[in-house]
Amino acid sequence: MLNMKTSATAKAIFVTIIMVTSMLGIFISDIYVPSLPNISNDFGTSTNLLAFSVTYYFIMFACAQLIYGPLSERFGRRKIFLLGLSVSIVGTLITIFSINFSMLMIGRTFQAIGMAAPMSLGRVILRDVIPNDINYARFMSFMSIGILIAPALAPILGAFLAHIYHWRADFVFIIILSLICYGLAYFYLIETLLNPQKRLSAKLSLQTYIWVIKNKVFIKNMVITSTIMSAIITYLSISAFLFQYYFGLSEIDYAIVFAVGETFIAVGMFINGIALKYIPIEKVQRLAIFLFFFSGILITIQAIFFTTSLSFIMIAVIIFNFSAGIIFPTSSALAIVTFKTRIGAVGSLYGCLNILAAGLISGVALTLPITPNLLIALLILVMSIVAILVTYCVRDK
């Protein structure tokens, strides 16, 4: 079993495997976003339906995580990790050869179900090998820098591939990256669960999930994560239409603007990893939530009074992403470290609930008959207020 005393090289390889496979899940969700208008034209599908396809991916991704926690407790982390990657590879092949919107969505369904395994088990595997709470929180921050670089890189890469070749080239790249990730995990990922359960039952899994949900610290931090995740999913779903149609940017220009904003998630995570050495994790989280609220105020002002100002909206988006880069790792760590057993189920339920809630909120928001700019502004503002209320009104004990 790997521990914090293991050689630096072994730790680097181990974390790289988890980080790269987790990045893959983000690439799958983001890489085709710049091509949504083109896909809409090719398949004769409405823009709203294509925008919802991004939200749909996250909803399926969330629900699938519930099965992987119990499965990993019974059969081990490694086997289930590899199983999920295999399912995702099948889904990507379907998307490459899709001839209509329905076939594309079938492929996206398999991708979401498959990628739920490495994304949900990655944080669990790290918890298996890093028992110290603060070390785990800091490790999550630094490791997540790589994961959150993916949303910045994926749209740029996707835009260039689609511009030079076709939007299907985005998924050809995904299949290549998927096979590389599978090879790395197959040869280098070790089993971190030393004592698997002897049996697997739906009743036991349900009892475990009920036990987890009763924990106020878990629920509090899950809700906080869901608020900012819902804003991110909504922004991701309609940002291509917002910047390309509303601000008149080209596909490539949109990808660059989107990447600039997303880069600040990584910056936030890096700052968070350093700050946790000197500041209590709860205080860091509260400061980030107030930044989240401040970004909501700014983007609402932009949507009402400076509707054509690209610079104004980018400042608000940068602050929003910076706060997200701090809220994600701190909330995840605070939710998970409160448990000492059944970490697989805890990690799966946490991932499921926060992404499912965010996906549903985003799905409802996308049906509102208001401009994309005002929609994003109001959602960020409302969700940040909810995060503040939960932070100060829900007691940890």
Average pLDDT of span 331-339:
80
Q: Could you give the residue ranges of the DSSP H alpha helices within the chain?
A: 8-30, 36-43, 47-75, 77-96, 101-129, 133-164, 168-188, 202-213, 216-241, 251-275, 281-305, 310-336, 343-365, 372-393
Domain assignment present for 3: no
Q: What is the pLDDT of residue 3?
A: 47
Distance CA 158, CA 169 (A): 8
**Tally of domains in the chain:** 1
Q: Would the pLDDT of 4 be above 50? A: no
Token digits of residue 317: 């988006």
User: How many H helices and E strands in the chain?
Assistant: 14, 0
Domain assignment present for 2: no
Residue 86 confidence class, pLDDT cut points 50, 70, 90: very high
The neighbour count for residue 125, using CB atoms within 10 Å, is 27
pTM to 2 decimal places: 0.69
* Domain hosting residue 320, numbered range: 9-393
Domain assignment present for 130: yes
**CATH number of the domain encompassing residue 312:** 1.20.1250.20
Residue 384 confidence class, pLDDT cut points 50, 70, 90: very high
Domain assignment present for 275: yes
Residue 388 confidence class, pLDDT cut points 50, 70, 90: very high
